[in-house]
Amino acid sequence: MSTQQSDIPAGAGDAFGTAQPDVLPNGPGAAAILAAGIGSLALGIFAFAGDASPAILRAFNFWSATGPLSGVTSTAVFVWLVAWYWLARSWAGRSVSLVLVNVAAFAMLIAGLLLTFPPFMDLLQGK
């Protein structure tokens, strides 16, 4: 992701009563947004993979009472948090192209949603 000038201009106010720099780079916000997209896509991919493969379904059975849902969701949350941590470290103090980040994050969010929709899962598997 290329760096660019932040779209947050200098001189922003301090409504929280805490000392803040004039300009906050958008990197931390972009990291949170893109990580949310990655976590959403991971959730969709894991849900779809569990539906398509009995072996993967069994592998996601982390806690038998909840079944494969336990593995699908906890692994997706783990991916989301790791992605957020890594992106936040990489983009700390930087400004990135938020247009690209938003498009990528929203595309991953929609793809993740579709991959959890049972008729769409069946369509992809030719059922």
Partner 1 sequence: MEITFRDLMTVVHGMGFGALFMLAFSGAIGVIYATTVTGARWQPGSRDSGMFRFYLVSMAALAWLTVISGSYVVYPWYRAVPPPGTTDLAGYPQRLLLSNPLTAGWHDLGMEWKEHVAWFAPIAMTMVAYVFIKYGPQLARSRQLRSAVLAFTVVAFIATGVAGAFGAFLNKYAPVRGGADIVLLRGK
Residues in touch with partner 1 (CB under 8 A): 6-9, 12-17, 20, 24, 26, 28-29, 32-33, 35-36, 39-40, 43-44, 47, 63, 65-67, 69-70, 72-73, 76-77, 80, 98-99, 101-102, 105-106, 109-110, 112-113, 116-119
Q: Which is nearer to partner 1, 55 or 96 (CB)?
A: 96
> Which of 9, 126 has the CB closer to partner 1?
9
Q: Report the residue count for the chain.
A: 127
Closest distance of CB 55 from partner 1, Å: 19
Helix, strand, coil shares of the chain as percentages rounded to 5? 65, 5, 30
Per-residue tokens: 64: 């038998």
Q: What are phi and psi of 3, to 5 degrees?
A: -85, 155
Specify whether the CB–CB gap between 108 and 80 falls below 8 A.
Answer: no
